[in-house]
Amino acid sequence: MRRHQWVAVNERDELGNELVPDYITSVKEGAFYGWPYSYWGQHVDVRMKPANPERVAAAIAPDYALGAHTASLGLAFCTDDAFGAHYRHGAFVGQHGSWNRSRPSGYQVLFVPFADGKPSGSPEPVLTGFLDDEGQARGRLVGVAFDGRGGLLVADDVGGRVWRVTPASK
């Protein structure tokens, strides 16, 4: 059985608060995801001149939306039971956070459950608290990776730290 490769994508800006959603998607050989002519499949970015209708027609939609302007940059799959059976095979996504949205979004690590190799439920916040009461960033999360000892490592390029997240002791 061939395993799919997955990627987190930080989409384009300046189309409003709710466009364009950042996403995770499986990487399909030879697939075209729209950049720069369209987004989320065949939604034309009218700012692109000259337009390219042939490329837009070939664009495929990504697999899973993570919200607009979350700046989803990091992606790591949980491959063991260190966090419990619920998290096995799911994806942890580091979100750097918005810069041009009226209400901040992102600034967290999300968990996306997977079943049969595909996203299978709503995203779940697992590491939050990186915005203060005034909406200023105390941290902006970038990369996520597992350390081989059951911990999730999260790089924070505002706080200048690497956080290590482990399940609560029993």
Compute the distance between CA of residue 114 and CA of residue 46 in angstroms, rounded to an integer: 34
> Would you say residue 100 lies in a domain?
yes
Domain that holds residue 124: 6-27+64-165
**148 C-beta neighbours (distance < 10 Å), count:** 8
> Would you say residue 56 lies in a domain?
no
> Would you say residue 41 lies in a domain?
no
Q: What is the pLDDT of residues 40-77, one digit of tens each?
A: 999 999 999 999 999 999 999 999 999 999 999 999 99
> Would you say residue 49 lies in a domain?
no
> Would you say residue 149 lies in a domain?
yes
Are 17 and 103 in contact by the 8 Å Cβ rule? The answer is: yes
> Would you say residue 59 lies in a domain?
no
**pLDDT exceeds 80 at position 4:** no
pLDDT exceeding 70 applies to what percent of the chain?
96
**Angle of CA points 160, 165, 166, to nearest 5°:** 160
The total number of structural domains in the chain stands at: 1
Before 50, cis peptide (omega within 30)?
A: yes
Full-model pTM: 0.91
- Report pLDDT for 135: 85
Compute the distance between CA of residue 169 and CA of residue 52 in angstroms, rounded to an integer: 55
> Would you say residue 141 lies in a domain?
yes
> Would you say residue 58 lies in a domain?
no
Span 147-170, average pLDDT: 88
- Report pLDDT for 1: 34
Q: What is the pLDDT of residues 96-137, one digit of tens each?
A: 988 888 888 899 999 999 999 999 999 999 999 999 888 888
